[in-house]
Structure formats: structure tokens, C-alpha cells
Amino acid sequence: MKTFFFNFEKGLDEKYINWTKEAVQDFINLFPEYKDNFAIKEGNLPYKNIDTLETIVEMNKNVYQKRGDVFDEQSFWQMFDRLPDGSYKASLQKQIALASRGGMVDIQKLSCLQSDSAGNQYSASTPILINVTKQRAHGNIRGISTELGINISAGTCAALGYQGEDLKAYFKDIVIHELGHTFNATHEGRQNTVNNLGMHCTDKNCLMYEYAYTDESFNRRKKLKEPFCQDCMASMRDYMQNVLSFERKNPNHITLDDEENQATTPATSNTDTSFKTDLRAMFKISALRQNAQYDEDAQAAHYVATITHTDGCVDKITATNKTTIALTAKDRDGNPKIPDMQRFRDIVAYAKKQNLPIKFGNIKAPEFKACLMIACLEADPPVQMIGAPEMNNEFLQKLAPEMQNKLKNTVDGLKNKQQLPQQPYKQPKIVLQQETNGR
Ligand SMILES: [Zn+2]
Ligand SMILES: [Zn+2]
């Protein structure tokens, strides 16, 4: 379990508190398969005994040494409140007071407390501190991060001149960018990274881009839906899976069938229907983009929706839960047909969002299989397939010539793309990252 520990400076405007919480939730939502591994708490971290604190002192000495700063042990001890039972409480308010001069805070110093009561063994259970200060930061620093937490200066963000929704979006971007560092989005040795103020992504549309905090980047990114590029997402998933050993939610794949599910009654009375929301959002928007009509059977226990195209063809989607989907289609005269290609792409996008492979269910029509394969292979990176047919002559001959070519072209396109080998994963280490340059 990975716990986010919120720590807000006293007197911080409520809106920043809400935006911080929203940003952390948005970040968690990017990883639906690991959602259950996250928890959120508010307040100070209590440290049980003196040995632990000594370990923290050692850790912080190392961090300071690495960045060429002098670690002030005396002021470190002053950051703690001794409680009546002899244990210590890490107090953000006290820490901020000590790190402040001239009405500004040195948020690099706040990184001192970003350690774990379990000592310097970084693990899945190490909490992540989310410290947000009201004060502006020296050096115009918006945010800074380590593997153990992030410090954000709301004061600095507020002084940049953004207003309203822009200020909110900018502030949330800074929080999510720093979380990206904490979850090792741009670790050393990864492709498409550059070392400038810490490791950053070279994709200009990615929030981990080295100049993501500039006006230019902010405005460019405003039009984009996804905060992170595929490389950064893959790194973070890798980190969650292999370093934090997060448990994945079951089941582990999405099954697609070309025949409607037989079950007509809900399996249990308290069936969770929240999956309908995700499917609805996706198919509704997709239908709208195609200028097609979206309808949903609100009375049905399962998710049942139809998409009617202007030519009279109807795609029908039924889902008994979030991972068991059936897709069928009829032409204007009611004869069965292969569903619109966009439906396959929708389902692949849905699987991708959850980082799940797609299992080929009891699919009878070869053309249906081919469409699903194309959609999976077209995705960047391709979505893993379970039970896909082998691409041999026997299978290809079952397809109409046009479909054969489409499938072959997709496979060839993939081969031509430079498929770089996966970089070996490196154990994370504490690295300070900061967003500092003025605008
Ligand atoms: Zn990136
Ligand atoms: Zn950064």
C-alpha cells in the first residue's frame, strides 16, 4: 500500500488544498489497475523512536551531500516536536518556519523529513509526503521532489500571473509532474530522456518534458487529453509493478466476444455498476465524433448500448462487467455484419487505459478477429493480445482480399517501426528534482 500523506502549511488557501487533492486523485486514476494500492491521509507523520530519526539524519546527510549542500543537523532536530510519550512528531509548520527567511521558504530544506519511519529501506509502504506551502519559494521554485515525496510552493505558482481555471490547471500540472518524478517516470537509462534539472522527457507534449512549467508548454499542453507520454506511463507502471510490487486488480484481461452475452440477470443483487460510467463515457464520445447516435438501455442490469450510423447500420455493445464485453452489429436491413472499425479501436483504447491485454473470446467470424487484431496492433505501443489467431495462410485465406491487405499492412507498419529493446530497469535512488527557472 502506498499512502499519500498530505501536509499543508497553516493558512494555505483552501483552493490549493482542494486542487492538490484533485491532482493526486487524477494521478491515481491514470493507473486504474493499481488503484487499490493507493491510500490518502492527512496530517503529520509520527516518528516512533530515536533510532529511526538517526537513520533519517543519515539519509538526509547523503541527500544534501549529493547536491553539494551542507546538512544542518541542529536545525534538523528542531523540526520535531517531542511528544509526552517520548516519540517525535514531524511537524511541517515547524519545518517551514525554520526553512523560511525574508517571507520566503527554502523548499529544498523541506525534503529533510521525506523519509520513512521504517528507515532508509525504500519500499512499497514508504509514505509519499505531499507538502504544500503558502509561502513563495526562494529561487522561484515551483516544486521539488524525491522518491519520498514532493514539496510544492503554492505561493510561487500564484505569483506567476495565472488566474482562475488556468491557475488551477497550472498548479495541478506542477503537482502531477513532481509525482511523475516520485514514481520514476524518467529514470536514468530510459530512452527519450535528457538530464537537465534532473531527468526529464524529451516529448514536448508530455508533462515530464523538461520545460513543462513554461507558458509555452502549458498552453500547448492545455489542448491535450493525456498528461504523460507512453514512455513515461510505461516507466511508472514498471516501477509500480516491479519496485513497489503493487497488486493488480483481477481479472487480468478484457474479453471480447462477437456474440451477445447470454446472461440476462445480474449475477448478484449488489453488482457494482460503476463500470458502466467508463464505458458510457467512451462510446458516447466516440459516437459523437462519428456523427452517429448513441442510445443506452437504462433499465438493463448490464451495460447495453447501441450506436446508430447515418447509413442505418447499428453497432451494439453489451458488457456484464468491466472486463467482459460483447460487440455485434447489424446493417440497415437487420442482417448481422462486422461492427464498425472504430468500435474495435474504442475497446482497445479502453483496455489500454487500464493497462490490460485483450483476450479473444469465442469469436467465430475471421473478419471480426482481423479487425480486433488491427486495432490492437495499431495502438502505440500495441496492446497485448491473448488467444489471437496465428497470422498464417490458413487464416488469411478466410479473409476478404481487402481485409487481408489491411492486416498485412498493419503488421508490416509495425515491423518497419524501430522497436527499440526495453531498457533494463534501474533501481530508483533518491534524486532531487526541481522546477526552478523563471518564466
Ligand atoms: Zn514523457
Ligand atoms: Zn521535473
Domains of the chain (ranges; CATH) run: 2-245+428-435 (3.40.390.10), 254-389 (no CATH)
Q: What percent of the chain has pLDDT over 90?
A: 44
Distance from the first to the final alpha carbon of the chain: 38
The ligand minimizing its distance to the Cα of 431 is 2
Distance CA 208, CA 227 (A): 8
Task: Note the pLDDT tens digit of each residue in 149-180.
Answer: 899 999 999 999 999 999 999 999 999 999 99
Q: Ligand 1 center to residue 210 CA distance, Å?
A: 10
Q: Ligand 2 center to residue 400 CA distance, Å?
A: 50
User: Are the CB atoms for 329 and 337 separated by under 8 Å?
Assistant: yes
Distance CA 407, CA 419 (A): 19
Task: Note the pLDDT tens digit of each residue in 62-79.
Answer: 777 777 778 788 777 777
pLDDT grade for 119, boundaries at 50, 70 and 90? very low
pLDDT grade for 424, boundaries at 50, 70 and 90? very low
Distance CA 232, CA 191 (A): 10
- Candidates 80, 138, 78; CA nearest to 105 is 138
Mean pLDDT of 342-351: 94
- Candidates 103, 185, 95; CA nearest to 145 is 185
Q: Ligand 2 center to residue 143 CA distance, Å?
A: 8
pLDDT grade for 251, boundaries at 50, 70 and 90? low
State the pLDDT at residue 353.
85
The ligand minimizing its distance to the Cα of 177 is 2
DSSP 3-state of 164: helix
Q: Is 430 exposed, middle or buried (0-12, 13-18, 19+ CB in 10 A)?
A: middle
Q: What's the Rg (C-alpha) of the chain?
A: 25
Of 20-24, 69-73, 126-130, 373-377, minimum mean pLDDT range: 69-73
User: Are the CB atoms for 167 and 142 separated by under 8 Å?
Assistant: no
Distance CA 353, CA 350 (A): 5
The ligand minimizing its distance to the Cα of 209 is 1
Going across the sheet that includes 433-435, the strands are 38-42, 2-8, 128-133, 149-153, 143-146, 433-435
Query: Is there a cis peptide before residue 251, judged by omega within 30 degrees of 0?
Result: yes
Q: To the nearest whole number, what is the mean pLDDT of the chain?
A: 84
Q: Ligand 1 center to residue 428 CA distance, Å?
A: 17
State the pLDDT at residue 243.
84
The ligand minimizing its distance to the Cα of 221 is 1
pLDDT grade for 429, boundaries at 50, 70 and 90? very low
State the pLDDT at residue 121.
53
Task: Note the pLDDT tens digit of each residue in 273-321.
Answer: 778 888 999 999 999 999 999 999 988 888 999 999 999 999 999 998 8
